[in-house]
Structure formats: C-alpha cells, structure tokens
Amino acid sequence: MFSVASARQELDKGNVSSLELTRACLARLQAIDSELHSCLLVDEKGALAAAAEADERLRKGERGSLLGIPYLVKDILMTKGLRTTAASKILENYIAPYDATVIRKLKKAGAVMLGKTNLDEFAHGSSTENSAFGPTKNPWDLSRVPGGSSGGSAAAMAAGLCLFALGTDTGGSIRQPASFCNLVGLKPSYGRVSRFGLLSMTSSTDTIGPLTRTVEDAAMVLELIAGRDTKDATTLSVPVGDYHLPLSQGFKGLKIGVIPSYFEDGLDEGLRTEAIRALEIFKKEGAEIINLDLPYNQYSVPVYYVITPSEVSSNLARFDGIGWGRAEEGADNLLSFYKATRGHGFGPEAKRRIMLGTFALSAGYAEAYYKKAQAVRELIKLDFAQAFQKVEVIFTPTSPHAAFKLGEQVNNPLAMYLEDIYLAGASLAGLPAISVPGGFTEIDGQELPFGWQFIGPMAQEASVLRAAAAWEKINNYQERRPNL
C-alpha cells in the first residue's frame, strides 16, 4: 500500500489514477473489514465520484498534496448528508447538515473520503470497546484492542484500508491507538486545527489530527487541515509552517528532555529496556539528553478525569431527544421522556462520565473538585513551560504496554483511565505531541508494536515532527505490516 507521499508522486506522474487507488481501498475494505469492524459507514458512491473529479483535476494539470488521496474519518466529525453517529445509539440515524471545517478543507483539496470509522462512544475510552455498534479489533492480533478512542481509524490505517485517517485526541485518543497499531499519530497544539463540526467531548482539550504510515504523511495532512478558522474562536493566529522543513534535520544538536519517573514502576519491562536503548541511540546521533522534573505532571490523570467528565456532562446535555438525537415514545411527562431517551441512548461509559461530571460541578463540590483541578492544570502548564526553557522536545513512552486483550479492562474503568498516564499532561497543557513506531515486544509468543512519544512547546509542531522523523529514519519500523 502506498504512503501519501509515494501516492502523490505516482498520481502526479500519471502512473496511477485516483479511481484506481479508491477502488483498491474499497475492495480491501470489503474483503477485510468484516473481521476488523473499523468502519461504521462506507460511502462508495461518494468516494468514486470524488475520485473521478480528482482525476479530472489532475488531467487539467492541477497539483496538490492530497488531491486524489483516499482517506477515512472518525465518525465524530460532521460530514454533510451522511450519518454522523459518534458511535452512540442516541445519534444512530443522525444525518449531518454541514461539513466540519477539516472535511471542507479536504474536499476542497480533492482528497477522497471513503467513509467513517468506529470509536468509543463520543470518544469516551481507550479501547474502542465502548462503541454502541461493537468493538474494533487490532489488525496485529484480532484478539486485542486497537486502542481508543480513535481505534477504528488506527485499525483501518494499519490494515491498509486507506492512505491516511483522521482521529481526535482529547487525552491520548490518537497517540495511544497509533502506538498499539504501529502508526504515526499526531496530536497538534490545541487550536492549531479547527474544531468546528466536531461533536465535542472535552472542549478545552479536543484536537483533530492524522493517523498515518509515516511522519512525512502526518506533516502533509497537518499542513492542509491546520489554520485559523473564524468559525472556531479557539484556533491559533500563529501561521501554519512548512512542516516538511524539519523532517531532514536529524537528532544532531537536539535537546531532548526525559522524566526519569516515567521509566520506573508501571512501564512494561520490555519497553523499559527498549527506552534505554532509544536514549543511547539519541545520544549516538548527536542529541543531548536532559533529565527533567515535572512535579505537578504526576497529577495529570486525576486532573484530566475531573475536568473531562465535567465538560462531558455539559456537552452531552444537548442530546435530549428534542433538539438532537433519538426520541423515545410513550413518556407522559418531560422527566420520563428524558430518562427514557437518555437512558436508552447513552452507553455505560457515557452515563458514568455524565454522572461524575455532574457531581464535580454540583453546588458544594465544584470548589473542591472542578476548580481545584483547573488550578492544578495551570501548574502542569507551568511545569511544561519551565521544561521547554531547557529542552526542545520531551521523550516518553506512549503507553505503559502494548495492546491488551479485548475484554481485559472493559469492566475496570480505573485501569482504562490509567492508559492516559503518559498522554494527559500534553493534552491539559494544549501541547503538540506525536507517537511514532518504537519497535516490537513479544507477548505470548507474538510480536506486538509499541510507540514512543515526543512532546513539544505550544505551536511548535515542527519540533516533534523533527524528532519523530529522525527516529523513523534510523529504524524503519513503519515498513512492517500486520499479517492479514
């Protein structure tokens, strides 16, 4: 399967057409996805029409980074005229009336949308087991999860069903699936990519980003979807850079920060050994390794899981069966109607987060929980700001381990929340972060992928792309494919 960059060259030379690429993706999707369950919707008619239009633009001499490139999108982004469910029964038959800004940009660029991918309901989860329409499986081992909440996008990319996929990352939901599926997963800075048309989970940390085969592909997608948007007041006014420029700079002279506690208890022993080896490679390639102390970052998971349910409870209040979503019949008063509609429409994890958040925001408790969490969040931001006066990027594992078994943690919310232990800090601080294939570890006689994370200063996506590209060129782990 082509990377975005290699497909771009072949399309521009006329060696392959967008229709050929699109038909190949659709055929593979039809052949494989019944096992993976990575997609909730396939728009074959729309994809073929978009591919034909892209080929016409190519024949006329037009060129563009994503013109004619087939992709999939997480089903939490609005797609005009198509179902947008957020993997929830409450939106099972909802047809989006407009396109999200990122979808509009991709359409204008001539990219070809194949369909919508599965996720944890409303992006609440780390395994894609919370989908109302069934779990997605990991292409590297069908008995394991692909990660979450962007697990459908990750599984589809790993299986070669598309050339890139869009996910969302609120506390790790692009980076963790990328780690589990041997992909590059980029979480841009908060506000770098417009959230207009995203069904909000946690409005203060939601980001949209790519899952790709290579770092270069991630840079290509980000360049197109990033930028200021008048429909999203939180978008940054900082200009979008040429993200290709740093990809060839390597490790030489790069100051890389390390948090020693991240490589102690809680990290899989095999990954710890590989992390030490990676640090030696960084130094051999000319990087300077600097130990850091981020004292408040140890509280990032509890802070995140106070702030996130609080915003979830507010954001999901709109889905009441009147203005949005399914409406249950037979209720004889408004309270009964709400109970029936929301009780049947929301899954267990959505209900759990709504209740936790409502409690944290309630009279008498908001001061003790929500406001205190926000105060610690500011200290976490300060930790990172001080660290980036000394280093250019921070290196961490993406996840404490490789992909776990389906069902292994589904009844243990605390264990699932701790999946974000290396990820939540960057989200709370709004920083860019990337997961890049780190290698493979043997579990039960099988080799499974894992990832390394690089975190950068606010609006400095170039820094994390540079570090990830330097690692990728040394190891080429991205060239390995699951045996499907």
**pLDDT tier at 329 (50, 70, 90 boundaries)?**
confident
Q: How far is CA 360 from CA 273, 308, 309, 313, in A?
A: 40, 10, 8, 10
Per the rule left: phi > 0, alpha: psi between -120 and 50, beta: everything else, 330 is: left
Q: How confident is the model at residue 147, as a pLDDT? A: 97
pLDDT over 80 at 158, yes or no? yes
The model's pLDDT over 80-128, given as tens digits with 9 standing for 90+, comes to 999 999 999 999 999 999 999 999 999 999 999 999 999 999 999 999 9
Q: How confident is the model at residue 473, as a pLDDT? A: 96
Q: What are phi and psi of 469, to 5 degrees?
A: -65, -40
Q: CATH number of the domain at 4-246, please?
A: 3.90.1300.10
Q: Which of 131, 149, 189, 313 is catalytic?
A: 149
In the block, residue with structure tokens 């209740």: 355
30, 66, 26: which is closest to 48 by C-alpha? 26
Q: How confident is the model at residue 253, as a pLDDT? A: 98
Spacing of C-alpha 40 from chain mean position:
17
Sign of the CA dihedral running 422, 403, 126, 114: positive
Q: Which of 38, 74, 105, 463 is catalytic?
A: 74
Q: How confident is the model at residue 324, as a pLDDT? A: 79
149 assigned to active site: yes
The model's pLDDT over 223-253, given as tens digits with 9 standing for 90+, comes to 999 999 999 999 999 999 899 989 999 999 9
Q: How confident is the model at residue 235, as a pLDDT? A: 98
Tell me if the bond preceding 131 is cis, omega within 30° of 0: no
Strand ranges (E), 345-445: 393-397, 433-443
Q: How confident is the model at residue 59, as a pLDDT? A: 97
pLDDT over 80 at 55, yes or no? yes
Q: How confident is the model at residue 322, as a pLDDT? A: 86
Q: How confident is the model at residue 419, as a pLDDT? A: 86
- Helix H or strand E encompassing 450: strand 446-455
Work out the average pLDDT over 429-456.
96
**pLDDT tier at 464 (50, 70, 90 boundaries)?**
very high
Q: Which of 17, 65, 173, 194 is catalytic?
A: 173
Is residue 439 within 8 A of residue 449, CB to CB? The reply is: yes
Q: What are phi and psi of 191, to 5 degrees?
A: 90, -5
The model's pLDDT over 342-389, given as tens digits with 9 standing for 90+, comes to 999 999 999 999 999 999 999 889 999 999 999 999 999 999 999 999
126 assigned to active site: no
Distance CA 102, CA 221 (A): 10
Q: How confident is the model at residue 326, as a pLDDT? A: 83
Give pTM, 2 decimals: 0.96
Q: How confident is the model at residue 305, as a pLDDT? A: 94
173 assigned to active site: yes
Tell me if the bond preceding 399 is cis, omega within 30° of 0: no
Distance CA 116, CA 187 (A): 19
pLDDT over 80 at 184, yes or no? yes
Work out the average pLDDT over 151-176.
98
Work out the average pLDDT over 305-317.
95
User: Torsion angle, CA of 452/130/141/215, rounded to 10 degrees?
Assistant: -30
Query: What does the DSSP assignment read for 326-358?
Result: ---S--SSHHHHHHHHHHHHS-HHHHHHHHHHH
- Indicate the SS3 state at residue 316: helix
Query: Domain extents for the chain?
Result: 4-246
| Residues sharing a CB contact under 8 Å with residue 333, sequence separation 6 or more, in sequence order | none
**pLDDT tier at 402 (50, 70, 90 boundaries)?**
very high
Mean pLDDT taken over the chain:
96
Q: How confident is the model at residue 122, as a pLDDT? A: 97
List beta partners, residue 42.
115
pLDDT over 80 at 414, yes or no? no
Work out the average pLDDT over 63-73.
97
Is residue 119 within 8 A of residue 41, CB to CB? The reply is: no
Query: Strand 255-258 to strand 288-291: parallel, antiparallel, or no bridges (unpaired)?
Result: parallel
Is residue 29 within 8 A of residue 184, CB to CB? The reply is: no
Distance CA 406, CA 394 (A): 31
pLDDT over 80 at 1, yes or no? no
The model's pLDDT over 4-41, given as tens digits with 9 standing for 90+, comes to 999 999 999 999 999 999 999 999 999 999 999 999 99
Neighbouring C-beta atoms of residue 364, cutoff 10 Å = 6
Is residue 185 within 8 A of residue 209, CB to CB? The reply is: yes
**pLDDT tier at 413 (50, 70, 90 boundaries)?**
confident
Distance CA 429, CA 7 (A): 35
Half-sphere exposure of residue 370, counting CA atoms within 13 Å on the CB side? 19
Half-sphere exposure of residue 281, counting CA atoms within 13 Å on the CB side? 16
